[in-house]
Amino acid sequence: MEKRLLIAGAGSGASNNLIRSLRAGDPSVVVIGCHDDQFVLKNSAAERNYVIPPAGRPGWLPALRRVVAAERGDLILPPSDRDVAAFSRARAHLRERLFLPAASVIRTCADKYLLTSRLRAKGIPAPATYPVRGLGQLDAIFRRLGRRGRAWCRVRTGAGALGAIPVNGPAQARAWIAYWRDMRDVPVTSFTLSEYLPGRDFGCQSVWKAGRVVLIKTYERLSYLGSGNQPALVSSVAALAKTVFDRRVVDTCIRAVRALDPRASGVFSADLKEDVSGVPCLTEINAGRFSSATNIFDLTGKQNMAAVYVRLALDEPVEVPDEYEAAENWYMLRDIDTPPRLFHADEFFDLVEDVRTGPHATALR
């Protein structure tokens, strides 16, 4: 039967990537887009699009319900944390159209300090993290971290490494936080300091229903989009990523979701980095939305995670032989103004001649 899906935030890179995944998993789906910015909406890959008020603002819910009714929408998919929060608050009016984690889980995951505190209390690897109550407290926090060298300073809410930077001591942290306070109106109390994690950087996405993990996949970030323009030099948006098999990452993410909600349902997108001992530590969980890098999970391997999510949401039968599917050695390239490109390691030199060294280079001289 035809599935009719409403994508919020249509026209953004995240929503267009999700649409690409959904159509790859089921070419018969009908995708309707909505956004409060009519210019962003012009870039939407959906069949039809609607301008609506901003999420959570007056008039938003009635407009959204009119679109759902007119289009006979079966399911609404929010691609951003802001949309997830708004839909979660409105779930009493849209319950049958949503497949979201519990509201309490969404609130916990939205606050990175609260999340890491909860995880560490359950014995799940996460970086030691302290809230900044005032600029005069920074020296004490560095002493509590108990390590010489870098710490990680960031805003406790938001995405895309908002306000994030490695700092070498209290003076750098104080200057960075003061800048955001004075120039960006971000309160000092919005920041946290945590131990610096120097190791490999992983992404892990999973879909759940009634406490059962149905499908989970992992990748490693190898480089970052626009990193040269960011003080942090890293972000959650990879320019180059590679699918990997790492049971440690999977086990940590499964333990974390179960600790948050033994009856978890929906999608969970997690970020992890290795600490100085090589232990993958959870730094963030985006509950209720797909990662903007979801194509690496959906367009590789036998199982399309976005399509599995839709079937679970609509109570359709789903057969996944192994919950952890790891299609290794697939790479994804991302850049501004281009769709993500996926290719296997075996395809590195398809239509490419390597003339850096060796006999081929000599022949061209």
Q: Find out whether 134 and 123 touch, Cβ atoms under 8 Å.
A: no
Confidence at residue 360, expressed as pLDDT on a 0 to 100 scale = 58
The mean pLDDT values, 10 residues at a time, for the chain of 365 residues are 93 96 96 97 96 93 96 95 95 93 97 96 97 95 83 87 89 96 96 95 98 98 76 76 97 98 98 96 97 95 96 95 92 90 90 77 52
Output the pTM of the full model: 0.93
Confidence at residue 168, expressed as pLDDT on a 0 to 100 scale = 92
**Domains, in order of start, for the chain:** 4-98 (3.40.50.20), 128-195 (3.30.1490.20), 201-347 (3.30.470.20)
Confidence at residue 89, expressed as pLDDT on a 0 to 100 scale = 95
Give me the residue label for tokens 């949503």.
98
User: In this structure, what is the dihedral angle of CA atoms 294, 299, 300, 301, given to the nearest 10 degrees?
Assistant: 110
Q: Find out whether 160 and 235 touch, Cβ atoms under 8 Å.
A: yes
3-state SS track over the chain: CCCEEEEECCCCHHHHHHHHHHHHHCCCCEEEEEECCHHHHCCCCCCEEEECCCCCCCCHHHHHHHHHHHHCCCEEECCCHHHHHHHHHCHHHHHHHCCCCCHHHHHHHHCHHHHHHHHHHCCCCCCCEEECCCHHHHHHHHHHHCCCCCEEEEECCCCCCCCCEEECCHHHHHHHHHHHHHHHCCCHHHEEEEECCCCCEEEEEEEEECCEEEEEEEEEEEEECCHHHCCCCCCCCEEEEEECCCHHHHHHHHHHHHHHCCCCCEEEEEEEEECCCCCEEEEEEEECCCCCCCHHHHCCCCCCHHHHHHHHHCCCCCCCCCCECCCCCEEEEEECCEEEEEEEHHHCCCCCCCCCCCHHHHHHC
Confidence at residue 148, expressed as pLDDT on a 0 to 100 scale = 63
Q: Find out whether 273 and 194 touch, Cβ atoms under 8 Å.
A: no
- Sign, CA dihedral 186-192-196-202, equals negative
Q: Find out whether 206 and 215 touch, Cβ atoms under 8 Å.
A: yes
